[in-house]
Structures are given as C-alpha cells and as structure tokens.
A and B are shown apart, each in its own frame.
Chain A
Amino acid sequence: MSTVFDFNGAPGSGWSQPEPIREDPGKNIPDSMRRNALPRWPRASEPELVRHYTLLSQRNFGIDTGFYPLGSCTMKHNPRINERIVQMPGIDRIHPLQPDSQVQGLLAIYYEMQDMLSICAGMDSVTLQPVAGAQGEFTAIRCIQEYHNSNGENNRNKVIVPDSAHGTNPASAAMCGYEIVEIPSGSDGRIDLQALRAAVDGDTAAMMITNPSTLGVFEPEIAEAARIVHEAGGQMYYDGANFNAILGKTDPGRMGFDAVHYNLHKTFSQPHGGGGPGSGPIGVKSHLAKYLPSPIAARRARTEDDPRGVGDGFWYFWEDPESSIGKVQQWNGNAGAVVRAWAFYRRYGRDLERMSEHAVLNANYLRHRIMRGHGDSAIPTMPKDGAPSEVVKHEFTLDMTPIKDATGVTAKDVAKRLLDYGYMAPTLYFPQIVPECLMLEPTETESKDVLDKFADDFLSILSEDPEILKNAPHTTPVRRVDEVLAARQLILRHPCE
C-alpha cells in the first residue's frame, strides 16, 4: 500500500494551529544556528491521515481481532475502561515534578499499587519506576549489586541463569557488569540442582529464574534452589513474566526469592501496543528496600495543617529510599500503565486468585484438547509434549519434531499456517531446550469455544498437504516476508525524494 510520504499537499495546507503570540520571535537565535531546510515530512490533511492510519490498522492483528496464544506474553483482553481513565486530565495533564499537594490522587494510586503488588508477591517494598520487564530486571540486579557492595562483597561477579531463561535475564545482568553462568536444565525442563550446586560459589551475586518455568511447569524444588544460593551468600531473583499462573496460590516470597519484577503489561493488562509501553515494577525483601530507585510513594496520617487530600485520612508524599540507586527512568515510571493496571486489579480485588485459576484451567484444557489427537484415530504428525508433566500452569510447549521428520514441515510453517486461520502464531523456537518448539499461552480471557475451535483447527492443519504449510500464509495482507533480504538490503527509511 502507499506510504504516508505519498501525501504531498501544498506547503502549510495541513492541520492548522494558532499564530505565535508575537511576530518574528526567533530573533534571539543567531542565524548560524537556524535550520536551513525543514524535514521532508508528509504534507497531509486530517481526512487523508485518518484513512491512512485506519487502513494500516486493518493490516495489523491484535487480541481484539483474534486469539493470540503467544506463550510468555500473556496476551489477555485489555478492558476499555482503562483507556478511558488514562485520558482523564488528572493523569494525562500531570507533570511528574508537580508538588505532592497537587498529585494526592496519583500518589494514592501509586501507594495502593505498591501495596497490592507487595502482597501478591510476598515482598516488603515495591517501586513502580521501571518501565519494562527488562528494566525491572536491570533495576533489581543493580539493587542486589549495591547490597553486596555495601556488605564489602564486591568480589561477587557472577549471575547464574538457567539455559531456559528469557534472553533479557542474561542481557540485564550483563548490563550491570556481571559475568553470566548458564546452567543446563534437566531433560524435563526442571532445575538441575546438581548443576546449580556446582555453579554456586563465593563469587555468586544472584540467580535469576522464573517459576513456572518457560515450559509452563511449576518447579517443585524451587525452595531448595533458593537455599543453595542463599547458603553461598547469593540473592534470588524472580522473573515475573509467568506471574499470571500463581496469584493467590503461592508467591515468590514463599519460594525464597529476594527480588521480583512484575510485568504490568502481562499480568495486569496494560495493552502491549505493538511492542510497548510496558511497565516493570520490582518488589524486594526488606534487606534490599533501601536501595530501590527514588522516589517511591509513602503516606502518613493526615493532619489539620495539610491541604486537601483524597479523603481517606492520609497524606501522601514522594520519598527517597535511604541508599537509593537513583533513577532508572527520568520520572516516576509509566504512570499511565500503573493507572491502567490499578483499574484492572480493582476489577478482581481479592479474587485475583480466580484470574490465575482460569488462566491455568484454559492452558490445561487446551493442552488436553490438542493432545487428544494422540487418541483413537491418532494423527501421525502429532507433536510431542514439550514437558511430560501431569499439569502445566499458564502455558505449555509442543515439540513439532514428528511432523518435521515425516514431512519436512517446520514449527515455523505450522505457525504461519495458523495465521491463515485467523490466529496469532504461538511463540516460536523458545525455549530452545525444546526442539521445534511452539509455546502456547491462551490466558484466562478466552472462552472454551475459542479453545475448542483452535484445537480442532490446529489438528486439521497437521494433516494438510505439506506444501500448503511450507508456503503459508496464503490469505494474510502479505505472504511470507523475506527476512534475510530485509537484513541484506537494509532499507530503513523512505528516501523522501
């Protein structure tokens, strides 16, 4: 389709603005600093642009347009009330440097969210400043680094990461200067405690791990792993990407973790927006609390001298933790995401446990509906279960080796064929410990009917002519895209000529 640069109206004919409040105001700027040629942006009217972006949107797949079983990404429905709330001037038109007295409502929401997240994860303190999961990891590892340094243990230079971990874990620890020690998972995807014992020593700063694992399986020996790391003086870091599976059932605090990040854009329904914004708050046990980024929301009983508050008897204020690492984002994090997540959490309150139950129910149900293909009229190209466990948590993996061996069809081909059926593809080739891996996470907001239909469609794809799969997709806005060509020709912008 055409690009926005195809619009080329008369100069200055587009969207109108008021005049500057005085003429020739730029006089104070020396000529040598003035711009010679304006950027070659499009010249377009509002009607043209509304149509352009509407047409673009129609070439994009979201949860709103279909089932999105993208493992590890928790693509649940995004309630629309949340979008309405963040358009209110009390959040949209707020500056982060306004005095506390002018943002009592925002501070109250921050405080409530810090409190709620602490409770759900069994932590003592929370900061909402990190703006993505990866930044949460980085922030927590920085706090752990300061903790070790202040104990005179700056010799601790290693972070242990299982080979099944999300790529952000080792990348975040490396950004803090740590050496990464990767330990293999057992064949069932579980922690290999022997490998962990062998890897841990006096140089260990931390271990980073997610539970349920990236195979969607709960790690029963997590408490023992925590004991091993703690005995060597290391800290335990919980990657909260899979938190949607366990709310109200257990928490990282009980498992022995010292720090955790949350993905508000996964568990708490901040929309992913094509890749962001996210929000990656972290929670820590009390011994790490004084290192958290500044500021965090605090409160005290309101006195008569205080100006108006929000009517709950408290006065809220920003407070800097005693030995804060400072800032990881310029302001107080993605406040808009925090407010959306607040509205989402209020919808469940103490029943957040039901949310996790339904997420896990849906994952297990879909897994069984697909695996039924092994039954009476067995399909020869049926995938193998990525992890042969009795139950999974919020997601599960499929090993597509059988179809590849029988027909040459890859996991990627199956994923691309799913697009033709109106589904988003599952996560592909991750975790790498499962060969030809597809990772599926249905989330709690899909109905039984959608899961049934998906399972049936998935099974019928396995029996289709392999050539159809190898050339899929067929009905999407564009056919399979040549990624190698993109990297070779590197056309990264429009020429604007």
Chain B
Amino acid sequence: MDQLPNLGRELEMLSEIGMSSMDELFADIPEDIRRNDPLPLPPPQSEEQILADAQHLLGANIHLDSRPSFISAGLARNFVPTMVPMLATRGEFLTSYTPYQPEVSQGMLQAMWEFQTMVSELVALPVANVSMYDASTAAAEAITCAVRVRSKRSSQPNTVYVSEFVPPHRMSVIENYTQGVEIDIKILPHRDDGTLDLEAAKAANDSCAVYVEQPNAFGSMDEGLLSLRSIIGEKTALIVGVDVVSLGLMEAPGNWGADIVVGEGQPFGIGPTAGGPIYGIFACTKDYLRLMPGRIVGQSLDADGKIAYTLTLSTREQHIRRHRATSNICSNETLIALMGAMHMSLLGPEGLERLALRVTAATQTALEAVASVEGVELIYPESPVFREFAVRLPCSSRGALERMDSMGVMGGFDLSQWWGSMHDCLLIGCDERTTEEDIEILSSALASSISEVSS
C-alpha cells in the first residue's frame, strides 16, 4: 500500500472531476457483474515482512551452488560476472519499455545493436534479432519462418524434418507452434552410435527445413552434421540449435551451411533462474530477414546527421501487420539479452574460448570418472561430448538419483522423464564451475548408490 502517492488526497482529486466518492468512478460497471465483497486475500504486508517471507520460502529450496550439482539439460549452472546484474538493473534500463521513441532510448537500442553483432559473430550469420523467449520458442519460430520462406518453392511444401534427439520438452513447444499452421513434422532418425542417419536424411532433400542440434539432447557432437548441407540440397533451410558456449571451440554453424541458428542464451548473462527469464538467440542469413520473428535494431541518422539507432523492419510485426505478422511476439527478453551482451563483452574472444575449454575439460573428466564406475556404461561411447553425456546404470536411474540426493549430491537428470524407456539412464551435466573434487564425490556417490539400489 505504500506504493500509492495519492493516498489521502482522493477527495481533493475527485472534486476536480466533480465527484465525491471512488464508487462514482466505477459506476459504469453494470451491477450484475460487479464484485461487492472484498477479494479473499491476506492483508497487505510491509517490505520487511515480504523479505522475511521470501527468505523463508526461497531459503527452503536447495540451490545448485549448495552441493555438487550435475544437472544441466539445456541450462548452465554458470558464473555471472558481478558487473552484469549491477549494471543491467540500473533503473534507466530496468524500467524502460520497448524503445518506440528512439530519441530517448539510444542506450538500450545501441546495446541491442551491439548484442546483435556479438550473436552474429558467434554463429557466423549476418543477421540476429534482439532475442526470443528461450531456445525452444526460437527453434519453433525458426521452423515456421523457414516454412514461410521456402514452402512455395519446395517439392515438399509445409514439411520439416527434425532430429529425433531434440529434447522432448522442446519438441512439445515445436508441436504447439506448428500444428495450427499445418506444418508436417517428420522425424530424422539417428544410428545406434548416436550419429544422425545421413542416409535417411536424404529424404529431407528439397523439403522446407531440417532442424538438428549440436550438441544434441545427450550432449553428443556429430561430425556428420558438417556434411548435412550437401545432403539436403541448397534450397532446404538448415536450422541448427547450439550450446552457445560450445562455439568458443566448435566451428560456427554459419560456416558449415546453416541458414538459421538458434540456442539458449542463458549461459551468457543470467543464472538458471528456475527456467526463466532466460533468452533464445535467433540469427539467420539475409534470405530470411524479412520474414523472421522478433525485434531488430538498425543504425540510422538523426535530424542533425548524427548516428542513431532505432527499431527497424517493424512492418513484419504484429502491431502493424496484425494477423499477417511473422510472429505474435511483442514482449521479448531484452533485459536478459542486455545481460548477455555485458557478459559476452567481458569475456571477449579469448575469454569465450577459455570458458568453452573449462566446460569441455570438466565434461571429459567427469565422463572418464563416471565411465570407470563399475556397472556404468556410456550410451554413446564414440561421441565427442560437450557439457553433458548419457550413461546407462545397472539399476533404476531414479533410485540412484534419490540415493545420491540423500548423500547431498545432485547426480544428474533422470532420462526416463524424457523417454520412458530410458528408466536406467542418466544425463550428467557439467559446467565451468565443476571441480575435480565435485567429480570425485559424484563418482563415489554413484558407485555406492548403484550397489545400494542393486542389492
């Protein structure tokens, strides 16, 4: 209630309008639909009380930094430089709206133009927007965008091929975004060694688009994807989902034929935050520019001829084009993208490479340690991995995770939550902060859980 500066001045203001009670302001609501009793909610609280309740409730959660944690599945337990939240929450950024008035929004507009540049450089494609909601909506809207661009000239109109190793929750988002516009999603199979079946991928030739991930849902990287462009033909859109940090080591998809690159931006800029707010990156070639979703900042000049920035190509968007818009996206994740831009600027090129090396060092070390635990098998032993790898246990993964939990270890993600048949499989995720000690604790906890659950 302390948020209302005019408390106590109501009558003074009402008399200006020629009224004497608040009720008169609501007299236009017909009686039969009016609420006449107070909202059945608790009494108002002071800032102090709210903070105490927040400390109590959020303090009851067990957070990732409080114990060795090996849960990733598309998000990173990252380290965010202190500067990032401190600067991004400056009120001028935090409390601004979409920059419809560029003359007083140059700060955010320039920061987003710089963000677009850094994303563009990262993935090696010329155009990037100022963010999507997350990696999944970015992938889904990349698919609908590709169909808009390609469908009329394709011998398989409205048809898109998607790797079977896309995480099911992302697949569910893709299905929701594509079913209404009647896009036919066909599944691209993988071989027993986990690599994409390139022979089967020939079926995608001259379809609207192919969507693959590098690394895939199991953390595996697939050299075969580098030749995908020649298999699917020049006219099929190649959409690649990436782990943004991996691009400090791995060749950028724009350099092996990708038309659109999407991914989860979260490792740059913000903690996992229980799944949001995070942000999706979306970058593409110029062929897709005019039918792509999301906001784009362009450079221009002001009336005095000074360089200035403004939102551009707005005629694609819902507030102009309504039901013919390329997307319904309006609010996006700009502030989180700003945090990403700050984090990327701090890292610099060599910092990015170092970050990727740290993640891959941790992943490889954990993989070797876990694979040497008796009874544990790597599901795809031949695959290079980044951040994550999948193992099969001699017991239920759920049981093993519960045992490890009781030992104070978050041992990974139970893959049966994604694929029901994988009840004995674990997805183990690492990050730049995984230590050798964490890995030792994980492998001994895993070894003892297996023997307890199996016995």
Contacts and interface: CB of A to CB of B under 8 A. Distances in A.
Given A29-B360, A57-B92, A4 B114 contact: yes
A91 B65 CA distance: 11
A134 B107 contact: no
A361 B13 contact: yes
B335 A365 contact: no
A83 B50 CA distance: 12
A337 B60 CA distance: 19
B9 A29 contact: no
Contacts of B14: 361
B273 A335 contact: yes
A248 to B, nearest CB: 5
Interface string B375-387: 0000000001110
B91 A95 contact: no
A489 B71 CA distance: 45
B91 A28 contact: no
Interface string B288-330: 0100000111111111101011101100011111111101111
B121 A39 contact: yes
Given A79-B47, A98-B62, A275 B99 contact: yes
A494 to B, nearest CB: 4
Contacts of B182: 177
Nearest 5 pairs between A and B by C-beta? Answer: A331-B275, A273-B335, A90-B58, A64-B91, A177-B180
A492 B318 contact: no
A84 interface: yes
A419 B92 contact: no
B300 to A, nearest CB: 4
Given A171-B327, A310-B57, A276 B277 contact: yes
A63 B346 contact: no
Interface string B349-373: 1111111011011101100000000
Contact of B60 (A87, A90, A351, A471): A90
B24 interface: yes
A274 B338 contact: yes
Nearest to B437: A21
Contacts of B61: 90-91, 94, 102-106
Among the interface residues A95, A104, A218, A310, which one has the most CB atoms of the partner chain B within 10 A? A95
Given A390-B27, A485-B301, 18 more contacts: A14-B346, A32-B223, A33-B251, A41-B344, A43-B348, A44-B346, A168-B330, A170-B318, A223-B33, A250-B35, A255-B33, A265-B331, A277-B276, A328-B176, A355-B3, A391-B28, A424-B101, A478-B102
8 contacts: A57-B92, A61-B101, A85-B54, A95-B274, A134-B318, A254-B34, A274-B335, A492-B120
A325 interface: yes
A353 B360 contact: no
B20 interface: no
A277 B107 contact: no
B173 interface: yes
A125 interface: no
Interface residues of B, number: 206
A371 to B, nearest CB: 10
Interface in B35-67: 35, 38-45, 47, 49-51, 53-66
B4 A480 contact: no
A330 B102 CA distance: 32
B35 A492 contact: no
Interface in B1-41: 1-7, 9-10, 12-14, 16-17, 22, 24-30, 32-35, 38-41
Nearest to A85: B54
A325 B178 CA distance: 13
A174 B42 CA distance: 40
Interface string A347-379: 111111111011011101100110000000000
Contacts of A166: 319
Nearest to A77: B3
B96 A272 contact: yes
A116 B331 CA distance: 23
Contacts of A339: 54, 58
Contact of A389 (B28, B126, B177, B348): B28
B18 to A, nearest CB: 8
A327 B47 contact: no
B75 interface: yes
B336 to A, nearest CB: 6
Interface string A32-43: 111110111111
A249 B247 CA distance: 53
Contacts of A73: 97
Given A350-B42, A493-B126, A479 B104 contact: no
Given A174-B323, A330-B170, A95 B345 contact: no
Contacts of A409: none
A448 B13 contact: yes
Contacts of B432: 17
A463 interface: no
A36 B353 CA distance: 12
A362 B4 CA distance: 11
A223 B414 CA distance: 49
A92 interface: yes
A40 B119 CA distance: 10
